[in-house]
């Protein structure tokens, strides 16, 4: 049955379109939390979001594009670009937000999906996810440079990897706590470096 017969006709305003998008992305997160990434079914997302399957295919095209949009939408909310006025404050905020996020159901799921090796269909989505994340780091570092806080010539991507790498190591490998001593110690070491 076409969507137009299921609901009363409505002007497609930004408001309704935004509400539909939010409902579909939330349903996508819920389905993946329930069944895993392998169990993502557009039929089930459509049913939970109360929209027609063809609407989802028309807007997102593929399951991996839908999953990527859902994850990026969530990370834009949960992992905002900080602007505290100092490089140290921004790096602490970035790292703290990730430490909280990886302990949420969505963050934990994202990590489990990411370490799987057999999800080739998500390769492009993974690259787009990290491109978006690195852009957040670059914004923070660009602002620090304009304030004169940054050593010249710092590679933005390497710096962002240096900020987040120790946290990923603790979550995925050593399972050590992400406490304040760790978060602050990691940021301060990254700022000051090792050399005398």
Interacting residues with its own copies (CB under 8 A): 87, 111, 114-115, 126, 130, 141, 144, 148-152, 154-155, 158-159, 161-162, 164-170, 172-175, 182, 185-186, 189-196
30 closest CA partner among 79, 76, 66, 6: 66
CB nearer to its own copies: pick between 31 and 113: 113
CA distances to 107, 114, 164, 176, 186 from 173, rounded to whole Å, are 16, 14, 14, 8, 17
CB 35 within 8 A of CB 93: no
CB nearer to its own copies: pick between 1 and 194: 194
Least Cβ distance, residue 169 to its own copies (angstroms): 5
Least Cβ distance, residue 104 to its own copies (angstroms): 16
Please identify which residue in the block is written with the tokens 């392998």. 38
* Residue 84 to residue 46: CA distance in whole angstroms: 40
Least Cβ distance, residue 74 to its own copies (angstroms): 17
CB nearer to its own copies: pick between 3 and 123: 123
**Residue 147, phi then psi, degrees to nearest 5:** -85, 0
Least Cβ distance, residue 61 to its own copies (angstroms): 23
* Direct distance between the N- and C-terminal alpha carbons of the chain, in angstroms, rounded to an integer: 72
CB nearer to its own copies: pick between 10 and 173: 173
């Amino acid at each position: 049955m076409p969507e137009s017969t299921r609901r009363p006709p409505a002007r497609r305003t930004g408001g309704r379109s935004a509400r539909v998008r939010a409902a579909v992305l939330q349903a996508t997160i819920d389905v993946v939390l329930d069944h895993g990434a392998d169990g993502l079914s557009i039929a089930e997302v459509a049913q939970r979001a109360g929209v027609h399957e063809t609407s989802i295919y028309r807007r997102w095209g593929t399951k991996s594009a839908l999953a990527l949009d859902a994850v990026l939408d969530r990370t834009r909310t949960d992992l905002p670009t900080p602007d505290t006025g100092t490089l140290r404050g921004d790096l602490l905020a970035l790292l703290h937000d990730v430490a909280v996020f990886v302990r949420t159901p969505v963050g934990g799921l994202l990590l489990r999906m990411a370490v799987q090796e057999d999800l080739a269909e998500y390769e492009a989505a993974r690259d787009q996810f990290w491109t978006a994340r690195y852009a957040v780091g670059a914004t923070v570092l660009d602002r620090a440079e304009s304030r004169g806080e940054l050593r010249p010539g710092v590679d933005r991507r390497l710096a962002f990897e240096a900020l987040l790498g120790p946290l990923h190591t603790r979550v995925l490998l050593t399972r050590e706590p992400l406490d304040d001593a760790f978060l602050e110690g990691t940021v301060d070491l990254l700022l000051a470096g090792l050399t005398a």
